[in-house]
Amino acid sequence: MKRPTARLLIWCPDARGIIATVTGFLAEHGANVLEADQHSDPDHGAFCMRAEFETDGLDLDRDAFPAAWGPVADRLNMDWRLAWATDRKRMALLVSRQDHCLHDLLLRQRCGEIDVDIPFVISNHDDLRRTVTGYGINFHHLPVTAATRADQERQLLDLLQRERIDVVVLARYMQVLSDAVVDRYPARIINIHHGFLPAFAGAKPYHQAYARGVKIVGATAHYVTAELDAGPIIAQQTTGINHRDTVDDLVRKGRDLERTVLAAAVRLHLDDKVLVHQNKTIVFD
């Protein structure tokens, strides 16, 4: 069984003694620190840190911790959050017709590679209903047109709220979410796309890339923001292409990367290893 732990993430102006202050506070209250990662950003004079610690000996419960830690954080002008690892996160998947990322995440969840509950999958098409229900997961078909988008997103938000969803993953969901949805889940909606944007935007990017004779293809996982495909990047990978590769080879290699990169980003988010500040991520991997 996993040891009960919690994760403290902080971002604040850089100063002397922050690491000692954090670890000293935890030790004073009986916590055993398992991991402590930090980063200083000299360009912005900022400091960030992730500390994971055992909670068995901690003399502060969920209600008492903020009251005890708050004055320390205020003194150092900290933005901070505490995540209890025993709180199993709840993730919703949104998908359209392409199923490669969907299958990958459902299989990883089934075999325990990602520690998360998936109460349901939402799609704007009905094609993947049998695929999803075959995993024992609820499937919601929410079709959308330009005329029905507002109503469809109200239904989407109702489902997310009712099921207490912590993170939303766009597993090749080919719709642009409105600001009303994005603003409700800041840094909690993860998207995956091919790595050609903006050079090969629009339809059939792999065909465009093939026509230009590209030497690499890639994939990018990022948080969704109001600006399309411009959110903070969590994970990226590339792989080589040569003159022998066909369009089908590019598509296959691209999909392999999309699966791997999206799964990596999801795992990092679930493990509370990503800090976001000014549209940039610090990833403690």
Which residue shows structure tokens 């090749």? 172
Q: What is the pLDDT of residue 27?
A: 96
Q: What is the pLDDT of residue 135?
A: 95
229 an active-site residue?
yes
Q: Does domain 91-283 have CATH number 3.40.50.170?
A: yes
User: Residues 6 or more apart from 202 whose CB is under 8 A from it?
Assistant: 208
Q: What is the pLDDT of residue 39?
A: 94
- Residue 129, class by beta-carbon neighbours within 10 Å (0-12 exposed, 13-18 middle, 19+ buried)? middle
Q: What is the pLDDT of residue 197?
A: 52
Q: What is the pLDDT of residue 282?
A: 94
Q: What is the pLDDT of residue 132?
A: 97
- Tens of pLDDT along the chain (285 residues) come to 567 999 999 999 999 999 999 999 999 999 999 999 999 988 889 999 999 999 999 999 999 999 999 999 999 999 999 999 989 999 999 999 999 999 999 999 999 999 999 999 999 999 999 999 999 999 999 999 999 999 999 999 999 999 999 999 999 999 999 999 999 999 999 999 887 655 676 678 778 888 888 888 889 999 999 888 889 999 999 999 999 999 999 989 999 999 999 999 999 999 999 999 878 899 998
Q: What is the pLDDT of residue 195?
A: 76
Q: What is the pLDDT of residue 196?
A: 61
Spot the catalytic one: 229, 245, 249, 256: 229
CATH architecture of 5-84: 2-Layer Sandwich (3.30)
Q: What is the pLDDT of residue 201?
A: 67
pTM (two decimals): 0.93
**Domain locations along the chain:** 5-84, 91-283
Q: What is the pLDDT of residue 112?
A: 93
